């Protein structure tokens, strides 16, 4: 609408200039405005400029488009600089929010959860089940319940008075395996898309990953990892994402596979 109005206005000014020229040739202008040489010159100049503008209107439109593209490019470059400067870190959250992670899970094709045990697994159960239904790959990494690390983590949680926990790390791992067993029992045809491993090693971080979105926390004394600050990382090619993905791959490589349907027997057979 704006461009149409501009074009109509320019054509009107050009037409007025032509009328002024014709009126001048026919002697009408002297009758209407005797001695008006300056107004005549002014109108002629304006009409000439208007004609030039009309001829160049398409060029101005292209310049407007170029300016818009340059602005978009500048914004993209600026985002890239910020991304590089923060190595992929986009936000820090006070704790893990199940709703936020579940939103990522519902759209993800690859999901990985690394923790000693997953206290919030029950709240993730439905989105993980939906992910299996759409054939997304789900990987779960839990601490080997008989690991010497398990009682040490218990002591670390109790060191600053985390007395509200009604379970130990060892019992928590077994509880998670029971939930995964129920999940697979409900979706036997999708069971192959759920991979579970237990690792007998000192965990460095807890990671909740959905495609290129990572929520990473550390194991603090007296605080569950899900209740600790969460570092949100976006972009699998970012510096931080590569580092934590390497940690995930390392623990996955040394982990022992566990079938959720036969996990109790599998745990008994593990000899670290």
Point out the domain boundary residue: 85, 120, 140: 85
Specify whether 143 is located in the same domain as 262.
yes
User: Domain residues for 36?
Assistant: 2-85
Q: What is the pLDDT of residues 135-160, one digit of tens each?
A: 999 999 999 999 999 999 988 888 66
Cβ proximity of 118 and 138 under 8 Å: no
Specify whether 80 is located in the same domain as 99.
no
Specify whether 50 is located in the same domain as 146.
no
Number of domains, the chain = 2
Specify whether 179 is located in the same domain as 49.
no
pLDDT band per the 50, 70, 90 thresholds, residue 7: low
Q: What is the pLDDT of residues 22-73, one digit of tens each?
A: 666 666 656 665 555 556 556 555 666 565 555 555 555 555 665 666 566 5
Provide the whole-model pTM.
0.68
Phi first, then psi: give them for residue 189, nearest 5 degrees: -70, -20
């Amino acid at each position: 609408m704006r461009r149409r109005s501009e074009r109509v206005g320019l054509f009107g000014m050009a037409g007025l200039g032509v009328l002024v020229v014709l009126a001048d040739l026919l002697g009408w202008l002297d009758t209407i405005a005797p001695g008006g040489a300056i107004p005549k010159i002014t109108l002629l100049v304006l009409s000439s400029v208007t004609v030039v503008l009309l001829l160049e209107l398409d060029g101005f439109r292209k310049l407007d488009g170029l300016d818009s593209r340059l602005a978009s490019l500048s914004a993209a470059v600026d985002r890239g600089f910020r991304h590089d400067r923060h190595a992929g870190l986009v936000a820090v959250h006070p704790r893990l929010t199940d709703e936020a992670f579940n939103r990522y899970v519902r759209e993800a094709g690859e999901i990985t959860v690394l923790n000693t045990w997953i206290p919030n697994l029950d709240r993730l159960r439905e989105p993980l089940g939906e992910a299996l239904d759409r054939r997304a790959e789900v990987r779960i990494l839990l601490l080997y319940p008989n690991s010497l690390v398990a009682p040490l983590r218990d002591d670390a949680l109790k060191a600053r008075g985390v007395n509200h926990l009604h379970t130990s790390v060892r019992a928590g791992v077994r509880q998670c395996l029971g939930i995964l067993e129920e999940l697979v029992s409900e979706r036997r045809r999708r069971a192959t898309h759920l991979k579970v491993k237990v690792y007998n090693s000192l965990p460095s971080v807890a990671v909740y990953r959905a495609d290129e979105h990572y929520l990473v926390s550390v194991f603090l004394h007296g605080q569950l990892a899900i209740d600790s600050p969460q570092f949100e990382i976006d972009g699998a090619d970012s510096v931080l994402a590569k580092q934590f993905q390497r940690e995930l791959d390392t623990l996955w490589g040394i982990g022992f596979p566990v079938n959720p349907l036969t996990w109790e027997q599998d745990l008994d057979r593990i000899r670290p």
